[in-house]
Amino acid sequence: MAKYFVPLEYEYNDGGRKASGHKGTGGDCVSRAIAIALGLPYKGVWDYMTFMKKSDWTAGTANGGVSSKIFGVFLEDRGWKQECLYGREIKPLRIFRPQHKNMIALLKPKNKKGSHLVCIKDGKVLDSWDCLKSKNHYYVHKIYYKMNRAQRNAWREFMRSVKRNPKWNYVRVPRKKKEAK
């Protein structure tokens, strides 16, 4: 690790939005960040996020924002891990030091609602607008990164143990009681 701090740089990248036929700008940061980080076609990611958003009983397309539970499952299925940052780990994007070469960061503005997803590759923020110079002062709250093989195997083993142990099984849905007639 370097002894001195190297700030992140901004590089314009729309993730293939313009090439896929989408016009203008929209709240498509989830589709854009995932397409850039995973190297997938923008249109395919956008269509999938729109489909999943509608199947989650929320109206609109992926341009209106996508829930973190939808894109979190999408990334987890592809071997990516979510890591929440707490307390002193939460840093402004301008002074954030990425721990991984290729990652996706969930940003939240200070004193405002909403969030933004960006791809960070090799010390560069790849996005369609420069959120480093934003007046909202975005803070990094969660990061998503590709797990290596050992981490992936350990994670799978942990999830198997959770499924085997009924005390830990948080996925179980309670059954409805049958009404007596």
Per-residue pLDDT, 118:
92
Distances (CA, A) of 106 to 3, 47, 85, 109: 26, 21, 10, 10
For residue 139, being part of any structural domain is answered with yes
Collapse the DSSP code of 134 into the 3-class scheme (helix H, G, I; strand E, B; otherwise coil) and give the result: coil
Residue with tokens 């894109």: 71
For residue 180, being part of any structural domain is answered with no
CA–CA distance, 5 with 153 (Å, rounded to integer): 33
Model-wide pTM > 0.95: no
Q: Name residue 89's amino acid.
A: E
The residue segments making up the domain with residue 136 are 9-164
For residue 169, being part of any structural domain is answered with no
For residue 57, being part of any structural domain is answered with yes
Cβ-based neighbour number of residue 71 at 10 Å: 26
For residue 181, being part of any structural domain is answered with no
For residue 113, being part of any structural domain is answered with yes
For residue 177, being part of any structural domain is answered with no
Would you say residue 6 has pLDDT above 70? no
pLDDT > 90: percent of the chain: 13
Distances (CA, A) of 162 to 147, 157, 158, 172: 19, 9, 6, 11
CB 97 within 8 A of CB 81: no
Q: What is the pLDDT of residues 15-68, one digit of tens each?
A: 888 888 877 777 788 999 999 999 999 999 999 898 888 887 777 788 888 888
How many domains does the chain fold into?
1
Q: Which of 73-77, 98-102, 139-143 bottoms out in mean pLDDT, i.e. has the lowest? A: 98-102
Q: Name residue 40's amino acid.
A: L
Would you say residue 101 has pLDDT above 50? yes
Q: What is the pLDDT of residues 53-98, one digit of tens each?
A: 888 777 778 888 888 888 988 998 888 988 888 877 788 888 888 8
Q: Give just the sign of the alpha carbon dihedral 108, 109, 114, 118.
A: negative
